Amino acid sequence: MFSIIQAAGWPIWPLVACSILALALVIERFLSLKPARVAPPRLLDEAMAVSRASVPGPDVVSQLEQNSALGEVLASGFRALNSDPRCSESDLRATMEGTGRAVAHRLERYLSALATIASAAPLLGLFGTVVGMIEIFGSQAPSGGMTGGNPAQLAHGISVALYNTAFGLIIAIPALIFWRYFRARVDGYLLTLELASERFVRHLLALRRA
């Protein structure tokens, strides 16, 4: 592999950097988008059970907030009632929606970078191939009255130049697949957070009236 990278010339180094960055982003997103860190399955039921009689104290709210992304959204509802027990439904929803937008932004972090790599890698590969072809044909140009060069050497140079395009596609295809996978996963999480928030708002409104 290292010999191929050396043979392909300097244009392949940006692709190597893209491959390392894409791998780092994929690993980071896999770790950050685990269900336990975003929306634990039983967290909503536990939060509702804890607040069945009254809004829990600051210690419980802080623990809930640090639990996961869903915990942050639910904790914002508790904090709104703790700061103003008579807060209106619109204020409660606005508080939780604001926290939800911040959580959504964090869930979508680095996805645009991964999509950019998936789009730019083939173009970088094509650029490297074009540069390689220019250098090859420039070296094969007639000089001093001599015509042409070695056809075998020319064919080998073209194949080496095409390494850039192949490497760009090797990077772009997995990056695109993972971007779509993470995009669908984030969309599913956002739907889960939205439904849980709506259910929790109704619970808090009933708790406020009690």
Distance CA 10, CA 40 (A): 47
For the cut 50, the answer to whether the pLDDT of residue 75 exceeds it is: yes
Evaluate whether 71 touches 65 at the Cβ level (below 8 Å). Answer: yes
- Which pLDDT does position 6 carry in this prediction? 66
Query: 22 or 148: which carries more pLDDT confidence?
Result: 22
* Overall average pLDDT of the 12-30 stretch: 94
Query: Residue 41 corresponds to which tokens in the numbers above?
Result: 């399955």
For the cut 70, the answer to whether the pLDDT of residue 210 exceeds it is: no
Evaluate whether 126 touches 164 at the Cβ level (below 8 Å). Answer: yes
- Which pLDDT does position 155 carry in this prediction? 74
pLDDT tens, 107-123?
999 999 999 999 999 99
Residues near 179 by beta carbon (within 8 Å), at least 6 away in sequence: 111, 114, 115, 118
- Which pLDDT does position 7 carry in this prediction? 66
If you average pLDDT over every residue of the chain, what do you get?
Answer: 87
The amino acid that residue 22 corresponds to is A
pTM above 0.95, yes or no: no
Evaluate whether 114 touches 26 at the Cβ level (below 8 Å). Answer: yes
| Proportion of the chain in helix, strand, coil states, percent, rounded to 5 | 80, 0, 20
pLDDT tens, 120-179?
999 999 988 888 888 777 766 555 544 555 676 677 777 777 888 889 999 999 999 999
- Which pLDDT does position 145 carry in this prediction? 47
Evaluate whether 25 touches 113 at the Cβ level (below 8 Å). Answer: yes
Evaluate whether 60 touches 77 at the Cβ level (below 8 Å). Answer: no
* Overall average pLDDT of the 59-76 stretch: 93
